[in-house]
Structure 1
C-alpha cells in the first residue's frame, strides 16, 4: 500500500499536484478492527454538522470523516462488521482479501467493493472441477470462521444442484491437537470419498495438514481454496508431499504481475530505494543482479499468494486514485481543490474502468471485480516444489477450461481416482436412492413402455400412448400405425381372390340364367339358386369393406352385410334340403305337412323369417351402438392397429351363433337325405361346404387367440373367403361342370332314370 501511494504521488499524469495520505491500522482482533473503523469515522475535519465526533443523524451527505476511502480489512469476518458501519456513511471500502458472498449484497453493504473475486465464483470453479473429473462423492472441511462456514454453505448450495453429494462435512478447530481435529482426519481416512475439499484459511489448513501428515494419510485428492493453495507455510510442512494430489484455486494473474512484484520488492528496501526503485521500473532483474548480496532481497520470489494479495491492494489504491482523478477534474492537467465527500467518491469508484499491469480494473453491480481463477496442481521434483496451471475459469461469460493431462496423480496406478458413492447405472436403468444421499443408489432396469430421460435419472418415465419402448430404453419410439393397406402384398393377394370369386359368382349366375329351364338348374332349387348366388355376391362384396383405413360407413356395412348375406345363403340351403327330403321321404307319410309347405310357400317363409330375424337384430344394433373406426393400442406394444370397434359385441356374436345353428340344422337335414336320387342328392355338396365353413371359423378363432397383430384383419378375410369359396365350390361348381361339360346328364331322361332307380332300391329294401 505504501509503495502504491508513493508511486501515485510521484506520478505526473495521475492526480497531479495532489498528495495522498494514509493511516494504517493493525486489525488483529474484532476490537482492533472496530477501533480502526470508528477512528476513521470520528476524527472529522471541517463539516456541516460536527467537530471531532460522530453525530447521530438521518442524513450524512455533508459528513466529512477523517478518511474518504478505506482499503481492507483482509478477512470476511472483519469486513462484514466494517462494511455495515461504513455503509451508513457511504464511505467507499475496498477489500483485497474478503471473499464472503454476503458482502455482495448491496442492500446491506452499499459501499463495499473488492479487488478479489467472491467465494461464490470460487465455489463455482470447484464444482465445475468436480464435474470435469466426474467426482460426485466428496468430503468437505472448513475453517472455524466466516470464510470457512459460509464457503461450505455456498458449496453445499451450488454442488447439490449439480448432483454432487457430501460424504461428510467438518469444521477445523483453531487449535492443534484438538480432539475434533483428530476426529476430522480420522473421518477423512475412513470415508470412501477419494476427494476432499478444504475450504479454509491458511492458518486452519496448516493445522489440519500437520495432523494429516502425522497420521500418515496418503492417496487422497485435496482441493484447496485460493487462501492456502499456494501458501509457503503449508508447503514447508515436513512430509507434506506424501499426502496425495493437491489441486488448488488461485486468482488469475495479470500479465504484468511479475514486473509489479519486482518493483514493489525493490522499493521496500529503503537503503536501495533511490537507485533500485527507478532501475526496477526499467529492468529490475538486470539492475539487482549487479547489487551486493543484501540487495538481492529484491530478487527473492515471495509466495504467489502474497503476490496476489499485494496486487489486489495495489489495484484497490489505484481504483481510489482514478476515482479522485475524475472527481477533481484532473483531466485538464490541474486538479480542483474541492471538498470530497465519501458518497461522491463511491459513485466514481463504481464507474472506474482502467488498465493496470495488463489487467482491466472495474467493478460490477455487486462491487465485485471481473477476475477469473486459475486451477493449479502441485508437483514435486525431488524436494523441490512447483506447480502447473492446469486450467482456468474465465469471466464474461464464465467458462472453465482444463488440461487433465498436466495433472500428476499420486495414486497407485497414476490414473484419475474415482470418487463416487455408487457406480453409474447401465443404459436404461434408473437410480433408486439408498439412504439420504441421492448419489448412493442401486440400479433397476426400466420396464417395457417406459424410458429413462437423462434429465431425471431416478425415474423411468412412461411413454405416451402412441409410443413404445423396450426394456432398458433411453428413448421412446413412435408406434407404427397399421391397417390392411390396399397396396400391401397380402392385401393384393386377398383382393385378387375376392374379385375372382365375385367374377365366378357373376359368371355362374349368367350361366344359370341362360340354362334356367334345364333339369340341373331346376333340381338345384330354381329361383333359390339365384337367391343363393346373390347372397354370396353380397357377402363377397362386403369383404371390400375390410381393406384400407377403416371409415364410418365401412364399419357400419362390413360385418352386418356379410352376416345377413351369409344367413340368406344358409337359409336357402336349409330350405332346399328340407324341401327335397319332404318330397321324397315325407310326402306319402305326412301328406298334410307336404301340402302345407307347398301351399304356404314354405321355402319363402323360412328364408324370409330367418333373414328378417337376423336383419332386425343388426338394425337395432346399428341404431343403438354402431361400430366406429378405432385405434387399437392393446394388440401390440409396437403398433397401433386401425380397426372397427363394436361398443357391444353381443349382437355380432348372436348373429354368428344364429348362422352356426342354421348351418347345423342344414347339415342335419342334408344328412337325412343322403340316400336320395343322385340327381337330387345335395347331401355331399352341402355337407362338404358346411364342413369348410365350420373348419374355417374354428381355425380363425384359434389363430386370433394366439396372434394379434398387423395381419389380424387378413386372417379374418381369409376365413370369410374360405367359407364363400367352400360353399360356391361345393354346391355350384359341380352343377356348372354338368351344364358346361356333361350335357348328357342335364336331360329330363337322365333325371327320370335316377328317380326310377331310387324307387326300385326303396321297394327292394321293403
Structure 2
C-alpha cells in the first residue's frame, strides 16, 4: 500500500521551508482575508473550516462575508479547537519536534468554494497590507493546510495551492476524485475515500437483500461522485435504483417538495442519502412536516453519526438508520480543553464571543436577563460541542495535525544529518495515542476502515449509535463486510418483485429494471435450486426434475417388471400354455398307440409339443430387468424355438402331402420322406437358425441399453439389437419357414382324407402369420415396455394358435369321440 507519497509530502514541506529567493514583483488581488483564530509561532499550520453555515456575496467585491447571526456550526468550531488541542499537545511533547513551536492560522470558509480558495491564497501569501519586492519569494505563510470539511471546496483549494507545492491534508473531504495524483499532486487526507464507502454501501444493501432502493445525494462533487461509485458497485451485485434525486441546501423549497414527492411515490422502502449534513437538514424538515414514515434510511459518513440529528425529536423517523461511520476514538484531555475555551482568552476575537453567545443563548451587548456574564460554565452543557462520545471526524483533524508534525520531524532529522533525498523517502508511518497506525497509499489515502452504526433508542428516550459491524478494505473481498445482524433494530423488505423461490426463474418485465421481474416455473427436466435464479438448468441425462423443480432425481427406469399387472398376466398365460402343452403331451402319451396319434408321425407331434413348451417359456425371458445374458438369450431363444416349432409343423405338412401321394397307385414316395428324413429336415432347418444366431452373438450381440431419447422424464431400459442385420435375419428366416409351411398346408387343405390335418395346419399358420404381420408394426412403434409386451403377446398368441389349431381337434376325438379314433375312419375318403 505504501509508496513515494510520504516522500512527496516531505519534499513539499522542505520546499516551503527552504525556498530560494528570487526577485519578483507581486500584487495582491482584493482585500486580504483574516484568520478567525490564530497563534503564530516558528512554524505555522493553516486550517480552513466551515465555521459558519452561510455566506453573502457583495456586489462587485471579491471578498465574501459570512452571516454570523444564528449560523455558527458547533461541529466545525469543535474541529478548529481539536486542531489547536493537537498543536498544543505537540508543543508540550518532548518526543515530537522538540525545541520547535507550532502555530496555527484558522480560516472560516462559510461553506463557500470561493471563500475557501480566498482563504487558501491568504495562507500562502500572508495578510500584509502591502507587498514588497521580496514578498513572493519568501516561504508560504503556512507549511500545510488542514481542511476543508467538504469535497467541493477542498477540490477548489487543492487545485489552487497544488501548483505551489503546498500540502493540503483534509480530515473530511471524501470524494474519490481527490485521489487523482495528476490533478491534485499535493493533496492528502486522513479520512477514507468515498470509493470504498460507496462499494461498502452497495455490499451492505445487497447483504440485507435490498435490491430496490432510492438514492438522494448532494448536488456537488461529494454526492455526485459518491452515488456514481455506488451505482456502479450496486449494478455489479444486482441492486437496482428506482430513483436518484439531487439537491443542495441553497435550492428553493419547490425542489425539496419535488424530491419529497418522488420518495412518496416510490415503492422502494430503502433510501440511501449520500449527502452532506448541511444539504440533508432542509430535506429532513420537509419530510418531517409531511410525516413520511416507514423508510429505512441508509446514510453516508457525513451525517450518520450527527448528534444534532439524533437529538432532534422531529427527526425520530430516522430511527433504525444504518450507515458507515469513521471509526470512533477517545482523545484523553480533549473535553477538558474544550470546556476551558473562553472569550477572555482573546478579548478581541469576535468568533469566541459569538460562540459563547450561541451555546448559552445570551448576548454580550445586552445587560438584561439575557445578557452574557462570562461566568457561564461550558462543563455544565451537554451539546454537540461538549460531547466527546463521538470523535470520529474530530480524530481525523487530530491525526492530520500529527501527520504534518511527523513528516516535519523526519524532514528536519534528514536535513540535520545531511542525508540525501533518497533517505528522505523513508515511510512516514506513525501511531497516534488512540492506537491507530497511520500511513498513506500511493494516492495519498489511508486504509479504509468503517464502523457500521445503527440508530437505536436508548431507555431514556435518546438515540444511540449502536456498533453493529465493520468494513475493512484491507481484508479479502469476501471478508470486508462483517455484520452483527442480530443487534440491528429494524430490517424491512425492499424489492421491486418478490423473491423467486427455488424451482422458478426470473423473467425481466419489459421496459423495467432487471430487479423487476416475474417468476416463471422451470420447464420439465430443468431446475433452479436457489432463490432468484436467472436461469433454470437442465438435469443430467440420467436425472429428471422433481415436482418442485428444485432438484434433480434419478429418472424412473422403465422395463417390464414381473410384479406389475402386465408382467403377471403374461407369466400366467405363459405357464398356462406350458401346462396345456404338458397335458396334451400326457394325453398323447397315454394314447400313443391309437390311430389318430400315429396317423401323422407321433414323433413329430411330441417334438412339436416340446418346442411349443419352449416357445411359451421363452416369453418369460422378455420380462424383468434386461441384462447382458438375458438380452442375448431372449432373442436367440425366440428364434431357435420358433424355427424348431415351424420345422416340426413343416415336417408334418410334408408328411400329409407325401401320405396322400403314397396312396396313389404305383407311388413309392414315402420311402424318400420316412422318419429319418423327417428328423434330418427338422435338425437341418433348426441348425440354420442356430448358425445365424451364433454369428449374431459373435459379431454384434444384443446388449442392455438405456434409451434416454424416447421419453425425457424416464429411462427405457431395453435390449439393443446390436446387429440389426442379425435380428432381421433371425426373424426373416422364421417368417420364410412360416410362409412355406402355410403355402404347403394350403395346397393340402382339400385332400380327401376324413381327418385332414392340413386344414388345421393351414388355420394354425394363418393365425401365426396374421399375428406376426400385425405385431411387427406395433413392435416398431410401441414405446418402452410396450415394445416388449408386443413381442410377448405375439409369441404367446402364435404359440396358442399352433397348440389349439393342431392339437385340440385330436384331443376332442381322443376324449369325446373315441369311435372316430380308428384307422378305418381316418382313412375313409
TM-score, L = length of structure 2 = 0.66
Tell me if structure 1 keeps the 8 A contact 2:120–2:157. Answer: yes
- Counterpart for residue 656 of structure 2: 580
CA distance in 2, matches of 1:51, 1:618: 118
CA distance 1:212–1:752, change in 2 (3 Å): closer
How far does residue 608 in structure 1 lie from its aligned partner after superposition? 10
Is 1:263 the counterpart of 2:333 in the alignment? Answer: no
Which of 179, 184, 187 is residue 262 of structure 2 equivalent to? 187
Distance 1:721 1:622 in 2: 21
Quick check: 1:173–1:181 contact (8 Å CA) kept in 2? no
Q: How does 1:326-475 map to 2 (within 5 A)?
A: 326=410, 328=412, 337=416, 347-349=426-428, 351-352=429-430, 354-363=431-440, 367-377=445-455, 379=457, 385-389=462-466, 391-395=468-472, 396=475, 397-403=479-485, 407=489, 416-434=491-509, 435-454=511-530, 457-475=533-551
In 1, are the aligned partners of 2:502 and 2:529 still within 8 Å (CA)?
no
1:450·1:473 contact (CA, 8 Å) conserved in 2?
yes
Q: Is the 8 A contact 2:146 2:400 kept in 1?
A: yes
State the partner residue of 2:85: 3
Residue among 314, 322, 325 paired with 1:251? 325
The within-5 A match list for 1:708-719 is: 708=784, 715=789, 719=793
- The residue number in structure 2 matching 1:631 is 706
Distance in 1, matches of 2:805 and 2:137, equals 123
Secondary structure of 2:229's aligned partner: helix
Q: How far did residue 562 of structure 1 move?
A: 2.9
Q: Secondary structure at the match of 2:449?
A: coil
Q: What does 1:58-69 correspond to in 2, within 5 Å? A: 68-69=143-144
DSSP 3-state at the match of 1:419 = coil
Deviation at 1:204, TM superposition (A): 1.3
Separation in structure 1 between the aligned mates of residue 765 and residue 328 of structure 2, nearest angstrom:
100
CA RMSD, 1 decimal? 5.9
| Structure-2 separation of matches of 1:418 and 1:610 | 83
Higher mean C-alpha displacement, 87-96 vs 541-550? 541-550
Q: Deviations over 1:351-397 (max 9, x none)?
A: 33x14224444445652234322312154889x64234151214244
| 1:387 alignment partner, SS class | strand
Q: Could you tell me how far apart the structure 2 residues matched to 1:376 and 1:633 are?
A: 57
- Note the residue ranges of structure 2 that are not aligned, 5 or more in a row: 1-82, 127-132, 347-373
For the Cα contact (< 8 Å) 1:539–1:563, is it kept in 2? no
Report if aligned partners of 1:449, 1:471 keep a CA contact under 8 Å in 2.
Answer: no
What is the Cα deviation at residue 721 of structure 1? 6.9
Separation (CA, whole Å) in 2 of partners of 1:356 and 1:403: 31
Provide the residue aligned with 1:59 in structure 2. Answer: none
Residue number among 287, 294, 305 corresponding to 1:219 in the alignment: 294
Q: Does 1:162 align with 2:230?
A: no
Cα distance in 1 between the residues matched to 2:119 and 2:252: 34
Alpha-carbon contact 1:40-1:66 (below 8 Å) kept: yes
Q: Quote the offset at 1:605 in angstroms.
A: 11
- State the alpha-carbon separation in 2 of the partners of residues 522 and 197 from structure 1: 107
Contact persistence 2:526–2:545 (CA under 8 A):
yes
Say whether the 8 Å CA contact 1:141–1:170 is kept in structure 2. Answer: yes
Aligned-residue offset at 1:128: 4.2
Alignment-derived partner of residue 825 in structure 2: 757
Residue 547 of structure 1 and its aligned partner are, at CA, apart by: 7.4
Note closer, same or farther for the CA distance 1:424–1:729 as it changes in structure 2 (3 Å cut). same
Shift of 1:146: 0.7
Contact map agreement 1:71 1:93 (CA 8 A) in 2: yes
2:545 & 2:249 partners in 1: Cα distance?
Answer: 58
* Match 1:315 to one of 386, 396, 399: 399
TM-superposed CA distance for 1:72, in Å, is 2.6
CA 1:177–1:487: 2 relative to 1, 3 Å? same
What's the TM-score once normalised by structure 1's chain length? 0.71
How far apart, in 2, do the equivalents of 1:674 and 1:134 lie? 94
Q: Check conservation: 1:165, 1:437, Cα contact below 8 A.
A: yes
Aligned CA distance change for structure 1 residues 690 and 82 (closer, same or farther; 3 Å): farther
SS for the counterpart of 2:216 is strand
Contact conserved, 1:700 with 1:719, CA < 8 A, in 2? no
Q: Tell me if 1:204 matches 2:204.
A: no
1:288 matched residue in structure 2: none
Partners of 2:198 and 2:118 in 1: how far apart? 33
SS at match of 1:170: strand
- In structure 1, list runs of 5 or more residues that go unmatched: 44-49, 56-63, 274-291, 330-334, 410-415
Task: Provide the residue aligned with 1:279 in structure 2.
Answer: none
User: Counterparts in 2 of 1:532-611, with a 5 A limit?
Assistant: 559=635, 562-563=638-639, 565-577=641-653, 579-580=655-656, 583=659
Cα offset, 1:29, TM superposition: 4.0
Gap change, CA 1:512 and 1:381, over 3 Å in 2: closer
**Displacement, 1:14?**
2.6
Aligned match of 2:169: 94
Does the 8 A contact of 2:149 with 2:171 survive in 1? yes
**Whole-angstrom CA distance in 2 between matches of 1:666 and 1:110:** 108
In the TM superposition, residue 449 of structure 1 has moved relative to its aligned partner by: 0.4
* Aligned-partner SS, 1:157: helix
Go from structure 1 to structure 2 and tell me whether the alpha carbon gap of 1:193 and 1:572 turns closer, same or farther (over 3 Å shift).
same
Paired with 1:156 and 1:457, the residues of 2 have a C-alpha distance of: 22
Q: Distance in 1 between matches of 2:754 and 2:135?
A: 144
Deviation at 1:308, TM superposition (A): 2.6
CA contact (8 A) 1:542 1:557 kept: no
Closer, same or farther: CA 85–346 of 1 in aligned 2, 3 Å: farther
How many pairs does the alignment contain? 698
Report the CA distance shift for 1:426/1:189 in structure 2 as closer, same or farther (over 3 A): same
Deviation string 1:235-285 (CA, Å, 9 cap, x unpaired) is 6878433x464504252544524x454134135347589xxxxxxxxxxxx
Q: Cα deviation per residue 1:431-474 (whole Å; 9 max; x = unaligned)?
A: 21113311211221112101115386122222232321135412
Partner residue, 1:115: 190
SS class of match (1:268): coil
How many angstroms apart in 1 are the aligned matches of 2:187 and 2:562? 79
Could you tell me how far apart the structure 1 residues matched to 2:601 and 2:164 are?
Answer: 121
- Is the alpha carbon distance of 1:616 and 1:479 closer, same or farther for their aligned partners in structure 2, counting shifts above 3 Å? same
**Does structure 2 conserve the Cα–Cα contact (< 8 Å) formed by 1:446 and 1:472?**
no
Query: In terms of mean alpha carbon deviation, does 18-27 or 202-211 score higher?
Result: 18-27
Give the drift of 1:145. 0.3
Deviations 1:34-69 (A, max 9, x none): 4555676789xxxxxx997699xxxxxxxx866554
CA distance in 1, matches of 2:203, 2:809: 91
Given the alignment, which residue of 372, 377, 388 partners 1:295?
A: 377
More helix by share: 1
